[in-house]
Structure 1
Amino acid sequence: MRFSEYVIGQRYETTSLALSKSDIIEFATNYDPQYMHLDEEKAKQGRFGSLIASGMQTMNISFKLWIEVGVYGEHVVAGTGMNNIQFLKPVFPDDELHVIAEVIGLTPRRKGNGIVTVLLSTFNQKNQKVFQAELSALIDN
């Protein structure tokens, strides 16, 4: 979409993505090698009683699902920021995540371009919100 086509309050819902134990371990091995993501036995004795996904993995999945909706299309120039990042609940193996994105900000720039800010809210299969962040991107007109 072009910048001029966005409207505050527009909402988009993504498809779902299931996260396996091996997905969690593979991501953590490469990017967040902490015991709660890698060591099943130690994680069982921890606060959550199980392996959990890295918050960074949850954030990346949320971004992936939002981008796959295709709203930005060819008009996206670049991401400009991510604010108010919140990891609200742990994500466990076999959780299925989906995102609701709502346009919450429009900031016009020169030449008709502008910054579009969306609130990404990620939910598990129980409809519990597990992640939330404001994502901004420069969009052409």
Structure 2
Amino acid sequence: MGGLCFEDVEVGNRYTAGPHSVTKSEIIRFAQQYDPVLEKIDEEAAAHSIFGGLTASGPLIFSIYILLTSQLQPRLHFLGGLGWDELRMPNPVHPSDELDLELIVLEKRESKSKADRGILRLRIILRNQRRETVLECLVAVLIARRPDAKASG
């Protein structure tokens, strides 16, 4: 079993991952494939945008958050996501930004229908090197329970 289980996690726990260095080529390559807006793939056009330069698209920022969840320390034994709420991206991400993830456990409860899992409600915060939030949301996830705990659930 990989990572911390439901029984190992407490409300208030914080887990971190990163940094992830965002590159100009990553921003352009992602935008070319998934968000082909001129201001995301052309530096000259980006210079005339409201951001005054190249910035990462929202889906790339979200993808970096997902990538960093696999690098959390300590790792959690995630089984699956149940949904995201209140997703905000209040600040742009630029080439050379260094992004760090912080995950905070807000709530936990045992699954009523499946004894082998629990449910966590988490606050996700992705910040750049200036500690500015670039992504924040609430997420509900399924997390494995320890095999010896299933019988008591």
- Whether the TM-score (by the shorter chain) exceeds 0.5 is yes
| CA distance in 1: counterparts of 2:138 and 2:122, whole angstroms | 6
* Deviation by residue 1:69-92 (Cα, 9 ceiling, x = unmatched): 15223xx22111111110110001
1:106 to 108, 113, 117: 108
In the alignment, structure 1 residue 90 sits paired with structure 2 residue 92: yes
Q: Choose which of 4, 7, 26 in structure 2 pairs with 1:4.
A: 7
Moved over 6 A (4+): none
**Structure 1 residues not aligned, in runs of 5+:** none
Asked if 1:61 is matched to 2:68, the reply is no
TM-score (norm 2): 0.85
SS at match of 1:120: strand
- CA RMSD in angstroms, aligned pairs only: 1.4
Q: How far apart in 1 are the matches of 2:79 and 2:116? A: 13
The TM-score, its normalising length taken from structure 1, stands at 0.91
Provide the identity percentage: 29
Deviation at residue 43 of structure 1 after TM alignment: 1.1
- Return the letter of the residue paired with 1:8: V
Q: CA deviation at 1:44?
A: 0.4
Structure with the larger helix share: 1
Amino acid across the alignment from 2:65: S
Matched, 1:135 2:139: yes
Equivalent residues, number: 139
Instruction: Point out the more displaced range, 86-95 or 128-137.
Output: 128-137
**8 Å Cα contact 1:99-1:123 kept in structure 2:** yes
Secondary structure in structure 2 of the residue aligned to 1:135: strand
Q: Which string of whole-angstrom CA distances, capped at 9 and with x for unpartnered residues, describes residues 22-81 of structure 1?
A: 0000111111111221121111011110010011111110121122115223xx221111
